[in-house]
Amino acid sequence: MTPLVSVTDLSVAFPTGDRTVRAVDGLSFALAPGGALGIVGESGSGKSTAAYALLGLHRGTGAQVGGSVQVAGHDVQAADEAALRRIRGGVAAMVFQDPLSSLDPYQAVGDQIAEVYRVHRPGVSRRAARERAAEVLDRVGIPDAARRARSRPHEFSGGMRQRALIAMALACEPRLLVADEPTTALDVTVQAQILGLLGELRAETGMGLILVTHDLGVAAGSVDDLLVMKDGRAVEHGPVRDVLETPREPYTRALLAAVPRVNVRRSVEPVPATDDSVLLEATGLRREFGRGRHTVTAVDDVTLTVRAGETVGVVGESGSGKTTLGRMLVRLLEPTGGELRYRGRDIRGLKERELRPFRSELQMVFQDPVSSLNPRRSIGESIADPLRAAGTLDDAAIVARVRELLERVGLDPDAYHRYPHEFSGGQRQRVGIARALAPEPKLIVCDEPVSALDVTTQAQVVRLLGELQRDLGLALVFIAHDLAVVRQVSDRLVVMQGGRIVEQGPADAVYERPEHAYTRGLLAAVPRLGTEEGTEDGTALQGASA
Amino acid sequence: MNGLAGYFLRRALGALAVVLVLSLVVYATFYIAPGDPARLACGPRCNPEQLRQVREQLSLGDPFYLQYWHFLQGLVAGHDYSTGTGVLHCTAPCFGQSYQSNQLVTDLLAERLPVTASLALGAMVLWLLLGIGTGLLSALRRGGATERVLTWLTLAGTATPVFITGLGLLMLFCVYLEWLPFPTYVPLADDPEQWAWNLALPWAALALLESAKYARLTRSSMLETLAEDHIRTFRAYGLTERAVVGRHALRGALPPVIALTAVDLGSMFGNAVLTETLFGLPGLGQLLVHATQTIDIPVVVAVVMVTGTAVVLANIVADVLYAVADRRVALR
């Protein structure tokens, strides 16, 4: 049987200034018709670059592509422009990572799908193309598809947009679907639905699937074979069970170890805090947006306490009010109701000037380490900002303190004068943490601090936060949609749904004996590696987190 | 649709308020300003008796608020002027009589506005074509010969004062090559072809002046849109580059261009003086300058109100186009 995809000695190199970066280097693999291959690796391992080569997407970008790529009998490398356009979408279709930005914001979703359909079926009328769009939207589970086809992307939720992108891929019945991190931006429950959908479509249409992801848990349940990439090369390749259960390469083992497990207890025993006084106390906290008929209650009647030195994990789906709550706790946002006490003092209604003394003690680490740092200022200046605002140190002392902070979060102190774009995602998040640490806070709210990072970097940043907490006696509020990550850091857990807390308690108790149906649903949706009962993984995990 | 009707009503009321405030400010400014309109209207060989008569005829003795009140009355209800032998009726909206010529200001406007509107709108079409075209070329085919020539041309146009560019164009096309007539204004309704031929040079002069910034804006906006993820999506689905640019990228790149056009077009109504003077076109700009020098308050106020209305209207149109281009923008 001829393989659907056959990649031989693929290399992709990007010339940058005086040297050339080899993103993919001598990669070979094959995929049988109807088969599913997972390509996993850390960011920068070349997995997306390899996937792009399957559709010839490097053409015209200045990248140097070598080797051979055959997809369903077509030689992608040798195809001329017109032939390549027929392959793209018609033979092999791509589902991109970020469903919000991957659709044209100005056009109706159905029209975009219809346009792609008409490119590959030139004789088809507009009307028939629109009907086809509604048909595929219906197939991917968009309710009332014929009507919703006229909606624009911003009127869809994240999960629906990802479904729409999959519908676009399906429209021309391709033989191969290439999905590049299709669920990274989504909640666990939506992620489970999308992965289930991909499985169903594969069974139904017999198309092949190449799933690119940094998350081994996502790949585990969805593919037959696994290809592990590091520095542009394949380090391990085999049936998914073999790779996950008996990994040969140390790199694969490290990658597996970094995957947070939702059913493994926090491995580092929390150091009992010497001072466990209540730091922050919210009672009946409430926040509404808009007014009149358009009022939306984002957070409703939330009561929780944060003690010195402990970590409170906050989980819930998108729109459950986690971020709004987090921003209120550090008073970036004023609550519209309830009480908020910091060390016994009500800070809910304080004016900006009266809040000043509390600003340095309550800090925040943001989700997106790219957009939360000013790209035009050096990272040293960004970290120095809160120190300058406090106005108690002179310039020399500020620089000394920033260097100390950089070293504390595991960066080179000489990086003071470098700019955000020179750092990787994980390093940028370290900068964000250093900035939050600068004014010596008592409490840091971390809003999805690791969700933009790959598993290995996640594990490193989580470990850093744990160390800082132990050494500095910080209290942390850790907001995330990834339940497994939250479990690795939390003493107590708060589960939110629709702006309310549906369940809270000691983390292990909630994870092991969830009382609320919503919590049970969230936990059931977490992807599993399928080998977690093995003791080997447990020890590997402890080794990684210590 | 109720929301949309409400939107236009609110915007219209807002525009009215802006224009009325504008008229009050201009009225007050010229009332305080030194100089005697009556003496200027009466002429150099004017005896005190004539001067007194003129002053009375123009109601210049009345207090400021009364003069302004009469002006407002005229706007709403119209006004009758005695001409000595009969009565001159000025229908609402009446902007009064010119101090200088005794002509009705509405007649002056009816004569001058089409000239300026032809100049501004025609120039806009030309500068958008030239600017957007150059911008697209430099975003998509950087380094080509056409792109380099156009970029150089637009930059040179912006760097050169309009009366130099205009003079150069006149010399070249009317004197040396004799391809075009020396511009005179021919109303559009009389002879569309002559209208266009006569205005070609003024349009070109203004378009050269304006197009460079449109080229730069289009280029940067286009490059930004082309770098967006959804452009990659359509390339990965086999759309031709022409379809990707024409149907997806251009639409995303245009909103800033629309916003700038509205501002420029509005200000063109009051600011095309140099071009009008150079090409001898009897437009609003010329009228305004002359009226300002002779403290012809009714004319000044009327011209300012018309140009103000043009600015406000252009902005309303821009907002609506914005919302049509990007459905996420709600009109409210």
Residue range B220-256, pLDDT digits in tens: 999 888 888 899 999 999 899 889 998 889 888 888 8
Residue with tokens 């997809």: A71
Between helix A158-170 and helix A188-205 the angle, nearest 10°, is 10
Q: Do A106 and B238 touch (CB under 8 A)?
A: no
Torsion-angle region of A9 (φ positive above 0: left; ψ -120 to 50: alpha; else: beta):
left
| In the predicted structure, residue A358 carries a pLDDT above the cut 80 | yes
User: Contact at 8 Å (CB) between A5 and A70?
Assistant: yes
Q: Do B326 and A106 touch (CB under 8 A)?
A: yes
> Domain check: are A486 and A520 in the same one?
yes
Cα A425-A430-A434 angle, rounded to 5 deg = 145
> Domain check: are A488 and A506 in the same one?
yes
Q: Which of A55, A85, A103 sits opposite B230 (nearest CB)?
A: A103
Per-residue pLDDT, averaged over A42-55, amounts to 90
Nearest CA in chain B to A180: B233
- Of A536 and A244, the one with more pLDDT: A244
Give the C-alpha separation, A503 to A494, whole Å. 6
Q: Is A57 on the interface with B (CB under 8 A)?
A: yes
- Cα distances from B82 to residues A52, A263, A311, B55, in angstroms, run 83, 98, 89, 15
The per-residue pLDDT for A268 is 57
Residues 6 or more apart whose Cβ sits within 8 Å of residue A120: A86, A89, A90, A171, A172, B238
Q: Which of B232, B240, B252 sits opposite A106 (nearest CB)?
A: B252
Nearest CA in chain B to A106: B326
Q: Is A122 on the interface with B (CB under 8 A)?
A: no
| In the predicted structure, residue A452 carries a pLDDT above the cut 90 | no
> Domain check: are A34 and A98 in the same one?
yes
Q: Do B232 and A96 touch (CB under 8 A)?
A: yes
- Of A434 and B270, the one with more pLDDT: A434
Chain A residues whose beta carbon lies within 8 Å of the beta carbon of residue B243: 115, 119
Q: Is B142 on the interface with A (CB under 8 A)?
A: no
Nearest CA in chain A to B324: A106
Output the six-digit token pair for A413. Answer: 């102190």
Q: Is B234 on the interface with A (CB under 8 A)?
A: yes
- Of A119 and A542, the one with more pLDDT: A119
As a whole-number percent, the residues of chain A with pLDDT over 70 amount to: 95
- Is there a domain that residue A123 lies in? no
Q: Do A88 and B236 touch (CB under 8 A)?
A: yes
Tens digits of residue pLDDT in A378-418: 999 999 988 888 778 888 999 999 999 999 888 888 889 98
Residues 6 or more apart whose Cβ sits within 8 Å of residue B182: B170, B174
Nearest CA in chain A to B237: A89
Give the C-alpha separation, A428 to A422, whole Å. 9
- Which residue in A55, A58, A98, A106 has the most chain B C-beta atoms within 10 A of its own C-beta, making it the best mutation to test that interface? A106
Q: Do A168 and B326 touch (CB under 8 A)?
A: no
User: Contact at 8 Å (CB) between A194 and A225?
Assistant: no
Give the C-alpha separation, A315 to A522, whole Å. 9
Give the C-alpha separation, B302 to A316, whole Å. 62
Q: Do B229 and A105 touch (CB under 8 A)?
A: no
Pairing of strands A278-289, A296-307: antiparallel
> Domain check: are A70 and A198 in the same one?
yes
> Domain check: are A350 and A252 in the same one?
no
As a whole-number percent, the residues of chain A with pLDDT over 90 amount to: 44
The per-residue pLDDT for A287 is 92
Give the C-alpha separation, A307 to A475, whole Å. 7
Q: Do B243 and A98 touch (CB under 8 A)?
A: no
User: Contact at 8 Å (CB) between B253 and B218?
Assistant: yes
Residues 6 or more apart whose Cβ sits within 8 Å of residue A471: none
User: Contact at 8 Å (CB) between B308 and B300?
Assistant: no
Between helix A158-170 and helix A109-120 the angle, nearest 10°, is 20
Q: Is A487 on the interface with B (CB under 8 A)?
A: no
| In the predicted structure, residue A543 carries a pLDDT above the cut 70 | no
- Which residue in B237, B239, B245, B254 has the most chain A C-beta atoms within 10 A of its own C-beta, making it the best mutation to test that interface? B237
Chain A residues whose beta carbon lies within 8 Å of the beta carbon of residue B248: 104, 106-107
| In the predicted structure, residue A159 carries a pLDDT above the cut 60 | yes
Chain B residues whose beta carbon lies within 8 Å of the beta carbon of residue A102: 229-230, 232-233
In angstroms and rounded to an integer, the radius of gyration of the C-alpha atoms of chain A is: 25
Q: Is B246 on the interface with A (CB under 8 A)?
A: no
> Domain check: are A469 and A425 in the same one?
no
- Which residue in A54, A76, A102, A161 has the most chain B C-beta atoms within 10 A of its own C-beta, making it the best mutation to test that interface? A102
Q: Is B258 on the interface with A (CB under 8 A)?
A: no
Q: A106 vs chain B: nearest CA distance in angstroms?
A: 5
The per-residue pLDDT for A207 is 92
> Domain check: are A489 and A455 in the same one?
yes
The per-residue pLDDT for A313 is 94
> Domain check: are A453 and A515 in the same one?
yes
Q: Which of A23-32, A482-491, A536-545, B14-23 has the lowest mean pLDDT?
A: A536-545
Residues 6 or more apart whose Cβ sits within 8 Å of residue B325: A106, B251, B254, B255, B258
Residues pairing with A230 in the sheet: A233
User: Contact at 8 Å (CB) between A25 and A197?
Assistant: no
- Is there a domain that residue A378 lies in? yes
User: Contact at 8 Å (CB) between A134 and A203?
Assistant: no
- Of A530 and B75, the one with more pLDDT: B75
The per-residue pLDDT for A533 is 41
Q: Which domains does chain B have, with CATH numbers?
A: 2-90 (no CATH), 105-325 (1.10.3720.10)
Per-residue pLDDT, averaged over B73-91, amounts to 78
Q: Is B330 on the interface with A (CB under 8 A)?
A: no
- Is there a domain that residue A145 lies in? no
Q: Which of B239, B325, B327 sits opposite A119 (nearest CB)?
A: B239
HEC assignment per residue over A387-427: HHHHCCCCHHHHHHHHHHHHHHCCCCHHHHHCCHHHCCHHH
| In the predicted structure, residue B89 carries a pLDDT above the cut 90 | no
- Is there a domain that residue A115 lies in? no
CATH number of the domain at A207, please: 3.40.50.300
Q: Do A96 and B252 touch (CB under 8 A)?
A: no
Output the six-digit token pair for A99. Answer: 């469903």
Q: Is B141 on the interface with A (CB under 8 A)?
A: no
Domain that holds residue A448: 279-361+443-527
Chain A residues whose beta carbon lies within 8 Å of the beta carbon of residue B250: none
Output the six-digit token pair for B189. Answer: 């309704």
Residues 6 or more apart whose Cβ sits within 8 Å of residue B13: none
Which amino acid, residue A336?
T
> Domain check: are A14 and A98 in the same one?
yes
- Is there a domain that residue A131 lies in? no
Give the C-alpha separation, B194 to B181, whole Å. 9
Q: Do A88 and B248 touch (CB under 8 A)?
A: no
Q: Which of B229, B240, B328 sits opposite A101 (nearest CB)?
A: B229
pLDDT category at A546 given cuts 50, 70, 90 is very low
Output the six-digit token pair for A343. Answer: 């060390």
Nearest CA in chain B to A116: B237
Give the C-alpha separation, B225 to B249, whole Å. 6
**Domain limit, last residue, from A440, A471, A497:** A440
Q: Is B327 on the interface with A (CB under 8 A)?
A: yes
Q: Do B237 and A89 touch (CB under 8 A)?
A: yes
Give the C-alpha separation, A194 to A200, whole Å. 10
| In the predicted structure, residue A16 carries a pLDDT above the cut 80 | no
As a whole-number percent, the residues of chain B with pLDDT over 70 amount to: 96
* DSSP structure string for A166-226: HHHHHTT--SEEEEESTTTTS-HHHHHHHHHHHHHHHHHH--EEEEEES-HHHHHTT-SEE
> Domain check: are A351 and A204 in the same one?
no
A439-448 per-residue burial string, b: 16 or more CB within 10 A, e: under 16: bebbbbbbbb
Q: B321 vs chain A: nearest CA distance in angstroms?
A: 13
Output the six-digit token pair for B29. Answer: 């400014």
The per-residue pLDDT for A270 is 57
Q: Which of A301-315, A532-546, B10-24 has the lowest mean pLDDT?
A: A532-546
**Domain limit, last residue, from A391, A409, A440:** A440
Residues pairing with A212 in the sheet: A39, A180
User: Contact at 8 Å (CB) between B154 and B215?
Assistant: yes
Q: Do B239 and A87 touch (CB under 8 A)?
A: no
pLDDT category at A272 given cuts 50, 70, 90 is low
Q: In chain A, what is the greatest distance between 2 CA atoms, to the nearest angstrom?
A: 76
Pairing of strands A311-315, A74-75: unpaired
DSSP assignment letter at B179: -
Residue whose C-alpha is closest to residue B267's, from B308, B300, B299: B308
Q: Which of B230, B247, B325 sits opposite A102 (nearest CB)?
A: B230
Q: Do B233 and A120 touch (CB under 8 A)?
A: no
| In the predicted structure, residue A181 carries a pLDDT above the cut 60 | yes
Q: Do A103 and B248 touch (CB under 8 A)?
A: no
**Domain limit, last residue, from A228, A258, A288:** A258
Which amino acid, residue A459?
A
Q: Is A161 on the interface with B (CB under 8 A)?
A: no
Nearest CA in chain A to B249: A104
The average confidence (pLDDT) of chain A is 87
Count of domains observed in chain A: 3
Residue whose C-alpha is closest to residue A84's, from A50, A120, A113: A120
Q: Is B255 on the interface with A (CB under 8 A)?
A: no
Alpha helices (H) in chain B, listed in sequence order: 2-32, 37-42, 48-57, 64-77, 105-140, 145-159, 162-170, 192-226, 229-236, 241-243, 250-253, 255-271, 273-279, 284-293, 297-325
Q: Do B233 and A165 touch (CB under 8 A)?
A: yes
Nearest CA in chain A to B255: A106
Positive or negative, the CA dihedral B14, B18, B24, B27 is negative
Per-residue pLDDT, averaged over B54-65, amounts to 79
Q: Which of A524-538, B271-285, B302-316 has the lowest mean pLDDT?
A: A524-538
Q: Do B239 and A107 touch (CB under 8 A)?
A: no
Give the C-alpha separation, B208 to B157, whole Å. 5
Per-residue pLDDT, averaged over B260-278, amounts to 81
User: Contact at 8 Å (CB) between A154 and A181?
Assistant: no
pLDDT category at A234 given cuts 50, 70, 90 is very high
- What ipTM describes this predicted complex? 0.77
Give the C-alpha separation, A415 to A381, whole Å. 11
- Is there a domain that residue A154 lies in? no
The average confidence (pLDDT) of chain B is 85
- Is there a domain that residue A146 lies in? no
| In the predicted structure, residue A70 carries a pLDDT above the cut 80 | yes
Q: Do B237 and A88 touch (CB under 8 A)?
A: yes
Nearest CA in chain A to B253: A106
Q: A157 vs chain B: nearest CA distance in angstroms?
A: 15
Q: Do B327 and A165 touch (CB under 8 A)?
A: no
pLDDT category at A544 given cuts 50, 70, 90 is very low
> Domain check: are A404 and A301 in the same one?
no
Q: Is B230 on the interface with A (CB under 8 A)?
A: yes
> Domain check: are A412 and A473 in the same one?
no
pTM of the model: 0.78
User: Contact at 8 Å (CB) between A110 and A134?
Assistant: yes
The per-residue pLDDT for A537 is 38
- Is there a domain that residue A148 lies in? no
Task: Please report the number of interchain residue pairs, chain A to chain B, with beta-carbon separation below 8 angstroms.
Answer: 71
User: Contact at 8 Å (CB) between A68 and A77?
Assistant: yes
Tens digits of residue pLDDT in A330-355: 999 999 999 999 988 888 888 888 88
Per-residue pLDDT, averaged over A43-65, amounts to 89
Q: B234 vs chain A: nearest CA distance in angstroms?
A: 8
pLDDT category at B332 given cuts 50, 70, 90 is low
Residue whose C-alpha is closest to residue B75's, from B313, B309, B310, B302: B302
Give the C-alpha separation, A491 to B276, whole Å. 77
